[in-house]
Structure 1
Amino acid sequence: MIRVLGPAAVSAALAFTLAQPARAADDELVQAQAGVWLVAPESGAKGCRITFGTNVVSGGYEITGADSCATPLPALSKASAWNFTDDGSLAIADAEGKPLMRFQQEEGSPWESEAGDPTWLLPAVGDVDHVPTVASLAGAWRIQQPDGKPVCDVTLTTDKDQDGTAKMSTGGDCAAEIGELKLSLWAAEGFGLVMLGNDGSSLSFDMKPDGSFQKSEEEEGEPLLLVRK
């Protein structure tokens, strides 16, 4: 969910928060955020990778690699610091403390920008420089075991139901473990893909660097892959 704030409101809120010492963030939480992140438009346009560090700098914790944003996301090309705000948001600022972008996160969802064009902040996956969209993922796929044994053929479409969720269909020879889910809808969010059944069931996958998907670790049962046919 994007909470839209006017530029003046965002600037004032971030300037205040980022001026504070990086005292509030728990060490374990900071360590958990450290690493390479992809900042990319929800539209599927090219984004850029930046690295969140744990060294304390003015306004929070260090960011490196922001020069890679010069072309795809110029607003972040001078990003120097990241920090958590008092309301749980994650803010990015330049070396002078000027706010550049702020993200909110709902439980179980990726970080998403609060203002401007919808933008994701996601742990980087290999060299992938954009997030997949419904349009780019639509087509024929196969759910299979890691050894390649087919489990179920599925077709993801761009057609939407009355609530705006994309439709999907399954083949007639699916294994019982998939057929019983009665999958009929699907959605993409960040690097995640979830298939939904009409009885409340679901099956979630996470994207791999090669563009295929693996069943999310949170899912029970044997590992499964989702690959294009």
Structure 2
Amino acid sequence: MTLMLALIGAGAATAETARPAKVPDEVRQLAGPFDLTDAEGHRRCALALEAKIQGTGFALGFDKPTCVGAMPFLATVTSWSRGPASAIRLLDGTGRVVAEFGETEDGLYEMARAGEGVFFLSRAGGTEPAGPTPAELTGTWSFARQPGRPICSVTLTEEPADGDSYRLTLAGTCDQTIKSFAPVSWRLDRADIVITSGQGDQVRFERTEDNIWRRVSDASRPLFLTR
């Protein structure tokens, strides 16, 4: 297999990227934990690629003192973005490309730096895409019997509730079935949204290919979460 090597020297790339207007679906699907290592596996850095706009790219989380100590070129890195041919780029605060990793196979990316050797970027724990994070799901949603026809507005917050759950609030005029259920909290269970009532009853929603959340149930009446 032909390896795609992004040769970025000590002077680094000078290309800059414009601030994204929204988070593309391909970014949401790629976001998650990654491992950055050198060819020998002696130097490592755990990266968290997030689906949230930051500067000219998307938010990037990592232990800076530890990672910069292992890989000094990370010193100015503040965000990430997609590049041509499905590449992953690490950007500095001005949008300049500091490092670019070309995709060699599913979940594996490679970069060669002049005088430093080859580095690999791979999805932590395997190649399965990561599910959404609570931060990505907070905000105003609608319950609907049909997509585009809301029956109640609901706000998912990051305010802690019981256990690993977060508080939610209803707004406006709601369908009687929603009011009777009386939801009070929500949480993520694997890749599903689970909404819990004050009595402890739960409704689980799974994400469809159309990025709509659908109730997982044998009930005859469908229920969706949309925004």
Shorter-normalised TM-score: what interval? 0.3 to 0.5
Q: Find the structure with the greater CA-based Rg.
A: 2
Structure with the larger strand share: 2
What TM-score do the two structures reach when normalised by structure 2? 0.46
What TM-score do the two structures reach when normalised by structure 1? 0.46
